[in-house]
Structure 1
C-alpha cells in the first residue's frame, strides 16, 4: 500500500565515526550542522576505527548549537540500562535536549567474540532489549523505580539527572526483522530500515534484500503503529551516492539488489533529489542517513535542496 506522505518534512542524518583530533572532530560536527543535516549519528562497536560514542557525542554537542546527536545504534548487550540511562540523561542535559537514543539488540558477532562477551540467541537478545526499554523509561521517570524482569531487577532506584526532553529522549530503532519492526511501530520515534541480520551475527542476510522486502517492512511498521504511523520518522541508510568510485561495500551483502530502494542513490543531484522525493511522497520515508561521511561532499548539495522541505 502506498499513500501520499508529503506532509512529512525531510530530515537528514550522517554517520561520523572518528577524526584525527578534537579540533577536527568539532569542525566536522559544525560542517554537518551548517550543511542542513538534522542529526550526527555514531555507531557502537568495539572492532574498527571508531570513537566511543558517548564521549564523542558530548564533544559534538559542545561544538554545535542546533545539531541533534545520537547513535545508530547503541548495542544493548554492551551496557547495563541503568548505566546507559545515567549517561544518556547527562548527555541530554549537556546538549540542551538534543539527544536521540538509537538502541538495538547488538548483532555483530566479531564484537562479542573479541571482547569475550556471550553471544546469546536472537530471542534472548531481543527479550533483553525489550526489558532495557522498560528500564530506561523507568529510570528517566519521576520518583523511585522498581523492576523485576528476567534480565534486570531494580529496587526503588531514584536516578538523577533526568533528561531535559519529556517524558524522555526520542528512540531510534533499527528495522530489519519483523519483531523489531513491530516493536518500532509501537515505541520508536525514528526507524532506520535495514537488512535483517543473520542469526550467527556475521553479516546481514542476503535473502532479505530487494524492493519487495523493503516495502514490506514499511507496511509492517504501518500495521503495528496504527494511528501513530504519521508521527514516526521512517527512513534508511544511504549506502552509495552519485557515481560509485570503487567496489568497496559496507557488508558482505551485494548491494546491487538494493538499487530500487533509497539505500542506493545514483546520478546527479537532481536525480538523487527526485528519488528521495518519490520515497517521501509515495511511501512516507523522510529520515535519510548518509552511511559514510566520506561521501559528504557528494551528498551535501542534496541536503541543501531538501532539508526542511
Structure 2
C-alpha cells in the first residue's frame, strides 16, 4: 500500500518562538509535505496570532531542505492571480522547486469580507474560481499574459523566469461540486477534499466513506470528460473535518485504521494537523510524532 503522510502547520506561532521549530521538526519526522492555511484569520483562531501564508512558507523553505511545502488552501477571497503568480514563482525559487499550491473557491468566513466587500454567493465564488484557476495557470507557464475577463484582468503581466518546477508548480484543487471537479480534472495535478461537511457533527464513519467514494466517482467522471485518466491526479484527504476527526490522533492504531480505509478507497495522501494546544486541533504531541514515524510504516507491512 503506497500512501503519503503530510501535515498542516497552522501559522499561529511567532517564527522565533516555536514557529520555525515546527517546520524543521516536521521534516525531521519524515512528513512528505507540510502545508499551511492561506487565510487572513480562521474561525476560532480569529482573535489570536495568525501570520501570512506566503512569508511563512518562504521562511519554512529556507529552514528546510527536502520536504514539500504548500497551501491548503489559497482562494480568490483576497488573492488576485497576477500578484499571486509572482509570489508563487518567487516561493518556488526560494524552495528549490518544492511548492504545491492547494487552491479552492473559498468560503463565507472572515476572509470573504475583510477587504470591505460583501460576501460572494456560492455561485459568485464558483464563477470567480472558474476564471481564477485558468488565468493563474497561464501566468505560471507563459512569460507574458494579457487577459480581459469578467472578474480578473492582466495586462502584459510578465513572469520571467517562471517556476523552477516545469511547466509550473503543481496545483492541488479543492473541489466537491461539478464545476470545481472540472477544474481539478483540467488543471490539477492533485485533488483535495475534507469530506462531506454535512456529516462532520452527526454522521458516521461509514457515511463519510460513502460520501468520499461518491466524490471520487465524480472526479473520475470529470477526468473522463476532460480526456484524462482518472488515476492521474493525486487524491489528497485533509483530515479534521470527518466524523472520526476527534479520535484520529488519539493513538497510532486509530490513525492506521483510518488511513488504511481511506487508502483502500483510493487516496494517495493523508494530511493531519500538527497539534495546537487549547484548540480544535489539540492532540498529544508524542502520539502525533509516533503517527508520523510509525503510522505509514505499519500500513506498508
* Aligned partner of residue 293 in structure 1, secondary structure: coil
State the shift of 1:31 in Å: 0.3
Separation in structure 2 between the aligned mates of residue 181 and residue 299 of structure 1, nearest angstrom:
32
Give 1:218's aligned residue: 216
State the shift of 1:67 in Å: 1.4
* Residues 114-170 of structure 1: per-residue CA shift (max 9 Å, x gap): 542231221221121121212212122233322232112223332234110111111
Give 1:283's aligned residue: 265
* Aligned partner of residue 228 in structure 1, secondary structure: coil
Give 1:301's aligned residue: 290
The alignment covers a number of residue pairs equal to 279
* Aligned partner of residue 70 in structure 2, secondary structure: strand
Separation in structure 2 between the aligned mates of residue 206 and residue 162 of structure 1, nearest angstrom:
46
Give 2:40's aligned residue: 46
Give 1:234's aligned residue: 235
Separation in structure 1 between the aligned mates of residue 286 and residue 164 of structure 2, nearest angstrom:
34
State the shift of 1:197 in Å: 6.7
Return 122-131 or 179-188, whichever deviates more: 179-188
Separation in structure 1 between the aligned mates of residue 191 and residue 230 of structure 2, nearest angstrom:
11
Give 1:245's aligned residue: none
* Aligned partner of residue 76 in structure 1, secondary structure: coil
State the shift of 1:24 in Å: 2.3
Q: Of 14, 21, 25, which aligns to 1:27?
A: 21
* Aligned partner of residue 7 in structure 2, secondary structure: strand
Q: Which runs of 5+ in 1 are unaligned?
A: 1-5, 199-203, 240-249
Give 1:171's aligned residue: 171
* Residues 204-225 of structure 1: per-residue CA shift (max 9 Å, x gap): 8989973322221111112222
* Aligned partner of residue 268 in structure 2, secondary structure: strand
User: TM-score w.r.t. structure 1 length?
Assistant: 0.79
Residues 264, 232 of structure 1: alpha-carbon distance in 2 compared, 3 angstrom cutoff: farther
Q: Of 11, 14, 17, which aligns to 2:5?
A: 11
Separation in structure 2 between the aligned mates of residue 291 and residue 207 of structure 1, nearest angstrom:
21
Q: Is 1:118–2:118 an aligned residue pair? A: yes
* Residues 38-65 of structure 1: per-residue CA shift (max 9 Å, x gap): 1111112223232100000000110000
CA RMSD of aligned residues (A): 2.9
Within a 5 Å distance, the mapping from 1:1-309 to structure 2 comes to 6=1, 8-22=2-16, 24-47=18-41, 48=46, 49-195=49-195, 210-226=208-224, 227-239=228-240, 258-259=243-244, 265=248, 268-280=251-263, 282-294=264-276, 295=283, 296-305=285-294, 306=296
Separation in structure 2 between the aligned mates of residue 109 and residue 265 of structure 1, nearest angstrom:
26
* Residues 42-97 of structure 1: per-residue CA shift (max 9 Å, x gap): 11222323210000000011000011111111121202110000011000001100
User: TM-score w.r.t. structure 2 length?
Assistant: 0.81
Q: Which runs of 5+ in 2 are unaligned?
A: 277-282
State the shift of 1:171 in Å: 0.7
